[in-house]
Amino acid sequence: MSVLVATDLDGTVLFSERTLGDPRPAELVPVDVVDERVYAYMTAPVIAAWTRLAALGALVPATTRSVPQYTRLRLPGPPPRFAVVCNGGRVLVDGAADPAWERTVRAALAARGAGYDEVMRQCTAWREEHDFASLRTVEDFFMYFTVRTRERWLATFAREVADWCRERGWRASLQGRKLYLLPEALDKAPAVASVAARTGAARVVAGGDSLLDAEMLRAAHAAIRPAHGELHVTGFSAPNCRTTAGRDAAAGEEIMEWYAEQVGTHEVADIA
């Protein structure tokens, strides 16, 4: 039985300075660097496991990152042939966006919920009312707010935004200092299923830490989530999903070890 590994990146196997945990891992490798500023690290054990699985062609990164944010990553080993970016809005094949998949996604977005422009107008108004550091867009699929420091008001505001979004076919996801607003129809799970169908994979395993990963985890044959992050805070559970014993960077190492175990007991899907 062939298997592919669909993995979220940030907060699952990649960690920022703020989210590494305590004690800080001894061996860290910068994998996201812009103008000498490091935005994300992998630990040495994660690097080793990722490199092995990448060489097997088993990995499918599945991330909310935009194409430029994903392609700037210095991931170890051979580049994955497939990657799910923009929270499922785009599927990259050998680094290039698949236009057929994007047409499918755009049609689904047009058929369900409020339009991007309507939500963006409301977000612009919210930014004028609150102390946000920025309001950014991800390739006109969705948008997110950032704050300099996470304060108590942000969680209350996020609940209000979630209620507003729910009435319009969108959803809100609070992840650290970022508050995402995305259409309900935009999800990683269908994109991962598309990659699995293309490669003939009979088994999909998945991992992630946020509510944006929930459907991908539920759809997998087996899944794992860290004992931190949005899914942990909200008490997410599913019959096919386990939770790590550790948290922060230690959870990332446990997740990569679990991926390797899953691949080691099955044939790898032909995605190399």
The boundaries of the domain holding residue 76 are 2-107+186-268
106: tokens are: 């755009």
pLDDT confidence bin for 168, thresholds 50/70/90: very high
Question: Domain with 238 in it: what CATH number?
Answer: 3.40.50.1000
Asked whether residue 85 falls in the same domain as residue 137, the answer is no
What is the per-residue pLDDT across 149-166, written as a single tens digit (0 to 9) for each? Answer: 999 999 999 999 999 999
Bridge partner list, 135: 145
Task: Provide the 10 A C-beta neighbour count for residue 76.
Answer: 16
Tell whether the model's pLDDT for residue 268 goes beyond 70. no
What is the per-residue pLDDT across 211-251, written as a single tens digit (0 to 9) for each? Answer: 999 999 999 999 999 999 999 999 999 999 999 999 999 99
Separation of alpha carbons 191 and 39, rounded Å: 26
C-alpha distance from residue 176 to each of 31, 150, 217 (Å): 20, 7, 20
Tell whether the model's pLDDT for residue 97 goes beyond 80. yes
User: Among residues 183, 199, 225, which one ends one of the domains?
Assistant: 183
What is the per-residue pLDDT across 43-88, written as a single tens digit (0 to 9) for each? Answer: 999 999 999 999 999 999 999 999 999 999 999 999 999 999 999 9
60: tokens are: 């499918």
Asked whether residue 85 falls in the same domain as residue 147, the answer is no
What is the per-residue pLDDT across 178-199, written as a single tens digit (0 to 9) for each? Answer: 999 999 999 999 999 999 999 9
User: Among residues 161, 183, 205, which one ends one of the domains?
Assistant: 183
Q: What is the mean pLDDT of residues 85-105?
A: 97
State the pLDDT at residue 247.
97
pLDDT confidence bin for 23, thresholds 50/70/90: confident
246: tokens are: 């550790």
At 39, which amino acid appears?
Y
Q: What is the mean pLDDT of residues 5-28?
A: 94
Q: Which of 140-151 are b and which e, b meaning 16 or more Cβ less than 10 Å from the residue's Cβ?
A: ebbbbbebeeee
Asked whether residue 6 falls in the same domain as residue 89, the answer is yes
- Could you give the percent of the chain with pLDDT greater than 90? 91
Asked whether residue 199 falls in the same domain as residue 66, the answer is yes
Asked whether residue 8 falls in the same domain as residue 89, the answer is yes
State the pLDDT at residue 117.
96
Q: What is the pTM of this model?
A: 0.93
DSSP state string for 96-138: EE-HHHHHHHHHHHHHSSS-HHHHHHHHHHHHHHS--SEEEEE
Preceding peptide of 23 cis, ω within 30°: yes
By the 8 A CB rule, do 220 and 6 touch?
yes
Asked whether residue 218 falls in the same domain as residue 162, the answer is no
State the pLDDT at residue 1.
53
Of 197, 200, 183, 85, residue with least CA distance to 143 = 183
Question: What Rg do the C-alpha atoms of the chain give, in angstroms?
Answer: 18
127: tokens are: 């930014």
Asked whether residue 176 falls in the same domain as residue 60, the answer is no
User: Among residues 183, 204, 223, which one ends one of the domains?
Assistant: 183
Q: Which of 227-251 are b and which e, b meaning 16 or more Cβ less than 10 Å from the residue's Cβ?
A: bbbbbbeeebeeeebebbeebbbbb
Q: What is the mean pLDDT of residues 111-138?
A: 96
How many domains would you assign to the chain?
Answer: 2
The mean pLDDT of the chain is 95
Tell whether the model's pLDDT for residue 265 goes beyond 90. no
State the pLDDT at residue 269.
61
